Amino acid sequence: MSDYLNENPDVIDVDELPSRKEDSNELFENFGSKEAIERKKLLLKIDHSPKSQVLHDIELLDKLLLLNNTPDLISDTESLPSENDSDTNEFQIRGSEDSNITDEYADEPADPVDVQEIYDLTAHICDPEHPLTLGQLSIVNMPDIEVHDDGNPNHLAQIVIRITPTITHCSLATLIGLGIRVRLERALPPRFRITILVKKGTHNSEQQVNKQLNDKERVAAACENEQLLGVVSKMLQTCK
């Protein structure tokens, strides 16, 4: 692939891709008392090193205090709500009838699958002809992702992604679509239905590409092709 179809695409800096803001907090979600966690979050703002002695000391004090309380207090549940929870899912999940699931897990608040999550899964896929990611090239964009999910593990859910090829005659649109599909099918539970479309008016042969992208037989056949799978694997290497 020495000749690039599109030599000079607009590139977004990796740091500037949309991302989930509160990621760093997840580190401590289930650990220690509420007070200590709040403090740790505060501390992270002034000191990012994980070896920080203050952080260590806060954890230590917390541990000693809990040790003193009653030996059994170190709980197995995650008592803290994370910030990005929405309440909408809780009811349905509690209503699920799976008997293997413990009460604690059932009571636990869930992080729903949201647009950002789908974006994070796909935006870091590497473009097959540029050493850049789909997010950097604006092939995948947040507003073009739809998630329809009620959170109930027994219900079907749907995801629609509209991709924007860098140029209207991009011959690699199908390959990019295949990459996204492989990524999502590996990453999401089977109850999710995935539809990948080319954004309206961004490709010359829109209909054809759309048909190819969502043809089960074709996708299955493509995945049996060792060489093609190799290319897709290479695209997925940059995912994080």
Partner 1 sequence: MSEIDELVVSFIANVNINDDKTNEIAIKITNLIKHKKCKLVQIIVSLKDRFISEDEKERIKALKCLSSVLYNSEPDQLLKNDVSVIVNFYMSKITDNAVMLECFMGLNALMSMKYITIDETTKLLKFLQKDYQSKDYLAAVRNYPFEILLNVYNRWFTQLKDNKNFADLFIQTYISVASGEKDPRNLLISFQINKLIVTTFKVESFQFSQALFDILFSYFPITFKPPKDDPYRISNSDLKLALRSAISASDIFAQDAFSNLIDKLGATSPAIKNDTLLTLLACINKFGGKACIEFWLPMWTALKFEIMHGGDSSETYLDPLAENKSNDLITEGTTPQVSNLQSNYHLSLDILRALAYQLVELDESAFNKYVVHILDELKPNFEFTKDLRQSCNTLAAIGSANLITFNKVVDLALPLFLENTTEISKLKLMLLNLSYFLDSYIKVTKSLENDKEKLEDFIKNNHLNNSKDEILMILGMALTGNSKIEVTVRTLSVIQFTKMIKMEGYLTKEEMSLIIQYITETILTDNNKNIYCACLEGLKVISQTHEDLVYEVSLKELLNLLPNRFDELILYHKDDELIQVEVILKVILDFTTSRHVLIKESIVALSQKLTEVYITGDSEAVDYCFLILSTIYSLLDNNFAVLDENTVSEIKEQTEESLFSILKNNKGDNSILFDNQNLSLLSNILYFANVNFKRNQHQTELLRYTKLFVDTDKILENPSRLVLPYVKILSALDKDCKFDEASSVMERTVALIENSNKNAMTNLEKVGYMEMITILTNKWYNSNMESALIERYVNWDDQSTVNLEMIAWIGKGLIMKNSASSSIILSHFLELLNDKNIGIIVSKLFELFVVDINSMNKRKGITWTNNVKLLYKQKFFNDVFQNLVTSYKAPNLSLDIKCNYLTALSLILKHTPNKLVEQFMVDLLPMLLQALEMPNSEVRISALDTLKDTTEKFGLLITENIDTLIPLLLKLVVPGSKFNDVLVRLLSLQLLGLLATSVPLNYLKPYKEEVINGLLLTLSDKKRVVRKQCIDTRQIYFELGQVPFE
Of 27-35, 167-175, 200-208, 213-221, the window that binds partner 1 (rule: CB under 8 A) is 27-35
- Angle between helix 173-187 and 115-123 (nearest 10): 120
Residue keyed to tokens 């090829």: 165
- Least gap, CB of 62 to partner 1 (angstroms): 9
126 secondary structure, DSSP code = B
- Least gap, CB of 196 to partner 1 (angstroms): 18
Which of residues 56 and 193 has its CB atom nearest to partner 1 in the complex? 56
N-term to C-term CA, the chain: 25
Distance, in Å, from the CA atom of 85 to the CA atom of 81, rounded to the nearest integer, reads 7
Distance, in Å, from the CA atom of 93 to the CA atom of 200, rounded to the nearest integer, reads 36
Which of residues 104 and 146 has its CB atom nearest to partner 1 in the complex? 104
85 secondary structure, DSSP code = -
- Least gap, CB of 230 to partner 1 (angstroms): 3
Q: Which two tokens stand for residue 228?
A: 């093609």
Residue 45 Cα distances to 18, 40, 48, 80, 103, angstroms: 20, 9, 7, 20, 35
Q: Which two tokens stand for residue 66?
A: 């809990």
Which residues, 85 to 104, sit near partner 1 by CB under 8 A? 93, 98, 100-102, 104
83 in contact with partner 1 (CB under 8 A): no
- Least gap, CB of 214 to partner 1 (angstroms): 21
Binding mask 51-70 for partner 1 (x = CB under 8 A): -xxx-xxx-xx-xxx-xxxx
Write the Ramachandran bin of 109: left for phi over 0, alpha for psi from -120 to 50, otherwise beta: beta
- Least gap, CB of 41 to partner 1 (angstroms): 10
Distance, in Å, from the CA atom of 196 to the CA atom of 83, rounded to the nearest integer, reads 30
Which residues, 128 to 157, sit near partner 1 by CB under 8 A? 153
Q: What are the residues binding partner 1 (CB under 8 A)?
A: 15, 26, 29-31, 35-36, 39, 42-43, 45-47, 52-54, 56-58, 60-61, 63-65, 67-72, 74, 76-78, 93, 98, 100-102, 104-106, 108-111, 117, 121, 153, 186-191, 226-227, 229-231, 233-234, 236, 239-240
